[in-house]
Amino acid sequence: MSTPAASKEQPALKRGLGLWLTSFYGLGVVVGAGIYVLIGALAGIAGTAAPVSFLIAGIVAGMTALSYMELTARLPEAAGEAAYVAEGFGSPTLTLITGLAVVVVATLAAATIGAGAATYMTTIAALPNWALVAVIVIALGAISAYGIVESATFAAILTVIEIAGLVLVAVSALLAEPDLLTRIGEIAPPPTWAAWSGILAGSVLAFFAFLGFEDMVNVAEEVVEPERTLPRAIAIVMVVATLIYLAVAAICVLAVPVADLAAAPAPLALVAARGLPGAATIVTVIAISAALNGVLVQFILAPRMLYGLARRGRLPGWFGRVSARTRTPVNATVFIVVIAGFLAATLPIADLAAMSSRLILTIFVVVNLALVKIKRRGGARPAVTVPFAVPVLGAILSAALLLTSFLL
């Protein structure tokens, strides 16, 4: 199935993202604000074995990430998951449902993170929450509409700041306790069901810290040589994110008692405060930057799915219009910004997050099954391929986590 082409009247999206800018964009999606609050809850569930939970979650998420690597090599389209489902199942209805589900997930995620960022900012800005939400979504929406290179560059800068914050946490902990790493053996779990049940339960929570690699495929039409660049970028993002999570989790559970870590509203700030005066405030500010980055990348993703669906004739052409000046889907961006702003100002964060997580897992099941059907038909081999067992395991593991999310 070929990529829908731009008409003479309608400009195409601008291809300006190379490997490293794409990778930093992806890291900004994955290594977002979640790690700044997630580690406390995870430590409360898995204890000092929290890094093991991250490792298991990384393996599970990695299966679906491998499927996405092959799919984006086969179908480098802005429609992303919708294009994969269309190719695998040939169902216009399922294609539209999948595409709209991705849009809903991205919009819910933008609203969730935007509301969280506004809550953080109330501590340093004397404005009502709704006003801060408005400022956040309008400013970041304007950046995403301005240009893909500009918005991805801004996201990359915020990503560097996020990672610098994590480095600051690690350095602070090591300054407070120089021999901290000599205790690394303490994270090894005992061979008991009580320990491993906590680790497995924690891995369900940790799984959501790896989400975001799937967002990368929706900028395919703005990536240079996407058939090769995107699979490599996804691999880089997953490996780097896993290493970061393992290192941060290990240092945190060794530096601070697990009970204190679990009770802290800002767990990484608690760790940072141990070795460097003022580090907690710096980490809090960086957490706000991470949240803003999370909103920005969703404002890049969702409009491009709407654009891709419109170009395939699944949505009104209004969503598929590209600005001749910025070469971005401005109409779709404005639509998403308005909806996300409304949701962020009206719905509880917990409800937004729960809906988003379950929809993502459902999409993963469908996308993995689409690759199973594509591979069974055979045909030309793309630049990147994975064994047949990968999408099968990806579908099974995603379905298991989806079921677990309802049971826990």
- Residues constituting the chain: 408
End-to-end CA distance of the chain: 41
Please tell me the pTM assigned to this model: 0.83
Domain ranges, ordered by start, for the chain: 19-305+332-407
Tell me the average pLDDT across 113-136: 76
pLDDT number for residue 108: 80
pLDDT number for residue 327: 86
Which band of pLDDT confidence, cut at 50, 70 and 90, is reported for residue 347? low
More reliable by pLDDT, 38 or 86: 86
* Residue 223 β-bridge partners: 17
Written out in words, the top-level CATH class of the domain with range 19-305+332-407 is mainly alpha
Mean pLDDT of all residues in the chain? 84
List of residues 6+ apart from 273 with CB closer than 8 A: 172, 279, 280
pLDDT number for residue 63: 92
Residue 137: Cβ within 10 Å count: 27
- Give the C-alpha separation, 165 to 160, whole Å: 9
- Res. 265: pLDDT tops 50: yes
- Give the C-alpha separation, 132 to 147, whole Å: 24
pLDDT number for residue 351: 55
Q: Pick the range with the lowest mean pLDDT from 175-189, 268-282, 349-363.
A: 349-363
pLDDT tens by residue, 64-108: 999 999 999 999 987 789 899 999 999 999 999 998 988 888 888
| Chain centroid to CA 84 | 19
pLDDT tens by residue, 214-254: 888 888 888 999 999 999 999 999 999 999 999 989 999 99
pLDDT number for residue 287: 78
Distances (CA, A) of 49 to 184, 202, 274: 11, 9, 21
Q: Dihedrals φ, ψ of 273, to 5°? A: -70, -15
Which band of pLDDT confidence, cut at 50, 70 and 90, is reported for residue 355? low
Tell me the average pLDDT across 384-398: 94
Place of tokens 């601070």: 256
- Give the C-alpha separation, 119 to 174, whole Å: 30
Tell me the average pLDDT across 5-11: 57
pLDDT number for residue 1: 43
